[in-house]
Structure 1
Amino acid sequence: MADHTFDRLYEQYHQSIYQFIYYMVRDRNVAEELVQDVYIKVLGSYKNFDGKSNEKTWLFSIAKHLAIDYIRKENRQKRKWFGTIVSNEKIDAHDPAPLPEEIAVEKDEVRAVYEALGTCSLAYRQVLILRFIQSLSVKETAESLGWSESKVKTTQHRAIQQLRMILNTDEREEGNFETQSSRRRDRT
């Protein structure tokens, strides 16, 4: 692999790959390490890249596999520590610190969507991140995840439904809290 090819891939996709991995693992340090692993794999396997997919989907596919491997490893370790068997999608390595983009965005709705995204299953999160944050097409998302286009569409539809349900539940809970608070004030 020529240095200029590697530099171009790094410059063009580094930030997108980092964001994708971060949203998957929710830990900045781990995301940075996994991005390095992505580019190490790229260095070692670019000569085998056959061009059946584009470079972007190939890189996201590598990133997806590394993130999932990390999450599975962490989940096995957590189950070992807790001595219980828990679904892989229920345990989430979570970094409560917001991303720079989240700090810059002042709107509560956007922040609520990102928080709700963190509660989604791994499959839902992958599709939503690739489709709406990374702006990949259905076809590119399918290639990145190794899924059919129909699976991407179905998963995307279900993920959006779940996000809506989570966001509507949060709004109702906030509304109930405000109603209860105002009732307490009225009694005093």
Structure 2
Amino acid sequence: MKNIKKEIQRHLKLCNLAFFIVKDADVAKDIAQESWIIIIHKLETLQETSKFKSWAISIVNRRAIDWIRTNNRERIKLEKSFNESEKEDSFSKVDDTTAIKKVLLEAIEKLSVEHQMVLRLFYKESYSLKEISDLLQISIGTTKSRLFHAREKLKTKLKHSRHER
């Protein structure tokens, strides 16, 4: 029973280390679990048993950093894909015969990339707030805030454009 508690404590330490790096509890648990698999398979390669703790920590550390790198690559691909398809997308193919659509398009194009991205993912791609927050690696609160502020900016710009006519 004492050994089980000790192993649970070791596992929690590995989870905490991974969490410190990736800032996501579920991912940290997965990294710790994957690290244990690596540790078990590579245990015979460990030459000095006194260095087990630092060896295990280095494995978790590398796995967490690999996860961050992979995640960043995916985020960059998503942003590039968004920027490229933005040019070809229906935002830019809006039927210009309707004045309000043209004004709306211009207003959307004046928004920041973050606001445009949240608007597109929410309205065009029909992603949920949770899915958007996962894709962009931001909190749900930040996602809601960006969506709210994007809508408010659009409302303001559309009101001003009506008064100009």
Q: Give the structure-2-normalised TM-score.
A: 0.45
Higher relative helix content: 2
Tell me the TM-score normalized by structure 1: 0.40
Between 1 and 2, higher relative CO (CA 8 Å, sep ≥ 6) is seen in 1
